[in-house]
Amino acid sequence: MTDNLDQNETLDPTRFDAPSLSRQRRKRSLSRSTIIISGALLIMLVLGWHLFTARAVSLVFIPSATTQSVSGWLTLQIGERYLLRPGSVTVEATREGYYPFKQVLQISEEAEQDIELPLEKLPGNLDITTGAIQARIALDGAPRGLTPITLTNVAAGRHELRIEAERYLPFEASIDIEGLGKTQTLVHDLVPRWADVTLSSRPEQAQLTVDGKPSGLLPQTAELIEGSRQLVISKPGYQSQSMGLNLVRGESVTLPTFELKPANGLIQLESEPSGAVVQANGEYIGETPLDYSLSPEQRYTFEVSKSGYEPQRETLSLKPTEVRALTLTLNPRLGRVMLTITPDDAELRVDGILQPLNRRNLDLPARPQTLLISKPGYASSAQIITPQPDFEQSLSITLLTEAAAALARIPEEIETSIGSRLRRILPGEVALGAPRRDRGGRGNEVQRTVRLSNPYYLGITEITNAQYAAFNPNHNPGVLGRTRLTTANRPVVGLSWKEAIAFCNWLSDRESLPRAYEVSGDSFRLITPRTEGYRLPTEAEWVRAGRYADGTGPSRFPWGDALPPPESFANLADSAAMGLAPNIIADYADGFRGPAPVGHFEANALGIFDLSGNVAEWTHDRFSTARSTTVEVDWMGPETGEVFVIRGSSFLTGTFSALRWAYRDSGREGRQDLGFRLARDVSRGD
């Protein structure tokens, strides 16, 4: 409007007339009735609005309340319902025996609402008595004290009650506490757990002990707890008595009078020397030192004896509770032992006690005595002897050098897993070959001296067909003439040297021994130093076990120096071999046309069979005619070569030359009269 006002336009003032005082008074002086009516109309409008917009709420108290109230804006109760605006209201209620109720409720928008409100009971009290017995009370597992007792402020509801007292059965129950501030009463009479046991003793005033606890003097009637009880009745100077009882509560038991016997005495018995056998009145009771209980006022005869000593006897009696120590000295029973010891300056100990060198006739107790004879450079010898008092004994002891003792510890014989046995052969020096002019001699019988430095094992018999079949069941040497060569107990024949070596390695593997031969392609080499595996004997070992068996010096033939051999000495080419062998021994018969069972003929002085006759045998050595003028130690032939030494005669041997010990043959393939036997070095553990 100011935008259209002319700046030169003049404003005229407006006239003001003051209001009339009388008019103002008329406006204020409304009638009282108008005001009342207006107020009533306003209240009706508000009530109508409240009735129209309020929610009907029913408050249900469980149990019903004695008094209740609801505080909130414009709260209106109509009958059992309240007209309440949605929102928060405070509800209060009371009932005797219950905690006062006060809670803020949220009224929702629902038109009608039913709200349940629980009232909480006040706690109650429980008064418990158990008569004259004071018992322990536990409520819900928590200790609460001793009876008589009143448990206060116990929450209403179910509780677990336990009542227990020594020597009474415990009581357990579920208790319903009413609450509401009320006091409930429980009276319980506890049930005793004992039985009444009446006991007496003679003499009286004996002590009763129950399960290790003193329980008064007898006579008495004891209240003993039910179950298994152990009673001991004792009195100084008397033997205690004990018994077990199984008691049932409430029963009354009267036991027979306990008759107490006077207490035993004690003998403390020792002997010199100790370890003697003790008998009391002829009954064995132990060895010294010994504590033994004796019935009082009775006579006992004690006999104390020990091997090698004269027995001792003692008779005695003891008073009740008397303790007596007794020592008996035993006198030795002596027997004479006369010793011959070689070497005579060896040291002698008897049960560890050194004896003088000039004391070789000993008077010793007649019990086992350990004699130890020793000397540096010799193996000690321990002997146990029991001297006899009635006659003298003689004992001769010769100490062996350490080397001889070590040799003696080697088993004389061992057995393989296939049943063949080997005999221990002691070392020695042998001469191989024969002089050039020796009758029947051959150019390959080169003379040389070989010293065997170690003992060895040699097969007692040749390997049989049955034993070889465990390695190669398909081997078949065929038939010679009308003689079958595959019989189980005859020596296996028809094997090459390498087949015999392969068998040796197989047997070593079978017995978890190190192999004696190393295999390289199609060749075999004896491992050095030599192992403990099975092998073929060297030529020198074969000669040592054959030509030098009896220790009397070498003979020309296995039986002596001239033909023919004794009847049935060995399986050679006899008259039965005519037409089979190229040459036969005139006027000789051994009973076999072909091979004989191994071990059939007599063994030589070393216990070895068939080193002469039956079949010839492979040796380890490669064939050589090289000469040597020195003594060779453990000679085994050359290291190379494909031809090997064969030793011994066979069932086809009938010539003067071939029957000699010095005869040597050679080859590489098998023959129907050629077999082998095992050898093995002595192990360090043998």
pLDDT at 52: 63
Q: Are residues 342 and 287 in the same domain?
A: no
Report residue 607 as tokens: 């216990």
Q: Is 347 inside a domain boundary?
A: yes
* DSSP codes of every residue in 434-491: --TTSTT--TT---EEEEE-S-EEEESSPPBHHHHHTT-TT----EETTEETT-TTSB
What count of other Cβ atoms lies within 10 Å of the Cβ of residue 81? 16
Query: Are 490 and 542 part of one and the same domain?
Result: yes
Could you tell me if 453 and 597 lie in one domain?
yes
pLDDT bin (cut points 50, 70, 90) of residue 554 is confident
For residue 631, the model assigns a pLDDT of 94
Question: Residue 316 contacts by C-beta under 8 Å, 6 or more apart in sequence?
Answer: 267, 299, 300, 302, 324, 326
Question: In this structure, are 686 and 556 located in the same domain?
Answer: yes
Which range among 55-59, 412-416, 417-421, 647-651 shows the weakest confidence by mean pLDDT? Answer: 55-59
Q: Is 69 inside a domain boundary?
A: no
Q: Is 584 domain-assigned? A: yes
Domain end residue (candidates: 329, 347, 376): 329
Average pLDDT of 262-288?
91
Residues 547, 552, 556, 557: what is their CA dihedral angle, to the nearest 10 degrees? Answer: -60
Does any domain span residue 141? yes
- With respect to residue 468, please indicate whether it lies within any of the assigned structural domains: yes
Is 659 inside a domain boundary?
yes
Across 133-142, b (16+ Cβ under 10 Å) vs e yields bebbbbbeee
Q: Quote the CA–CA distance of 36 and 21 in Å, as a whole number.
A: 27
CATH code (residue 641): 3.90.1580.10
CB atoms within 10 A of CB 155: 14
The span from the CA of 414 to the CA of 416, in Å, is 7
What range does the domain containing 398 cover? 334-406
CATH number at residue 275: 2.60.40.1120
Show which of 187, 213, 235 is a domain's final residue.
187
pLDDT above 50: residue 262: yes
Same domain, 464 and 399: no
Q: Is residue 344 over pLDDT 60? A: yes
What was the pLDDT predicted at 473?
96
Tokens matching residue 495: 């094997």
Does the reported pTM lie above 0.75?
Answer: no
Nearest to 428 by CA among 606, 244, 621, 246: 606
Residue 7 has pLDDT above 50, yes or no: no
Residue-wise pLDDT tens digits, 236-261: 888 899 999 999 998 999 999 999 98
Q: Does the structure show a pLDDT above 70 at 25?
A: no
Same domain, 235 and 172: no
Residues 6+ apart with CB under 8 A from 684: none
On whether both 465 and 351 belong to a single domain, the answer is: no
pLDDT for position 335: 87
Across the chain, which distance is largest between two alpha carbons, in Å?
Answer: 198
- Comparing 462 with 359, the larger pLDDT belongs to 462
Q: Are 349 and 391 part of one and the same domain?
A: yes
26 vs 405 pLDDT, higher one? 405
Residues 393 and 440 in one domain: no
Kindly tell me if the per-residue pLDDT of 9 is higher than 70.
no
pLDDT at residue 603 above 90?
A: yes
Domain for residue 473, yes or no? yes
Arithmetic mean of pLDDT, 51-74: 82
Q: What is the rounded distance in angstroms from the CA atom of residue 354 to the CA atom of residue 346?
A: 11
Please indicate, yes or no, whether residues 350 and 430 belong to a single structural domain of this protein. Answer: no
Phi, psi angle pair for 487, to nearest 5°: -60, 140
**Is the domain of 443 the same as that of 585?**
yes
**What average pLDDT does the structure give for the chain?**
88
Q: What is the pLDDT of residue 33?
A: 77
Written as one string, the DSSP assignment of 350-363 is ETTEEE-TT--EEE
Q: Is the pLDDT of residue 18 over 70?
A: no
pLDDT: is 278 or 15 the higher one? 278
Sign of CA dihedral 652, 657, 661, 663: negative
In percent, the amount of the chain with pLDDT more than 90 equals 62
Q: Angle at Cα 616 formed by Cα 612 and Cα 622, nearest 5°?
A: 120
For residues 169 and 205, membership in a common domain is answered with no
Q: How many domains does the chain have?
A: 5
Q: How many CB atoms lie within 10 A of CB 288?
A: 20
**Would the pLDDT of 40 be above 80?**
no
Q: What's the pLDDT at 388?
A: 87
- Contact between 468 and 492 under an 8 Å Cβ cutoff? The reply is yes
488-to-465, 484, 536 alpha-carbon distances in Å: 5, 11, 21
> What does the alpha-carbon distance between residue 272 and residue 94 come to, in Å, rounded to a whole number?
103
Between CA 158 and CA 176 the distance in angstroms is 4
Q: Note whether residue 538 is domain-resident.
A: yes
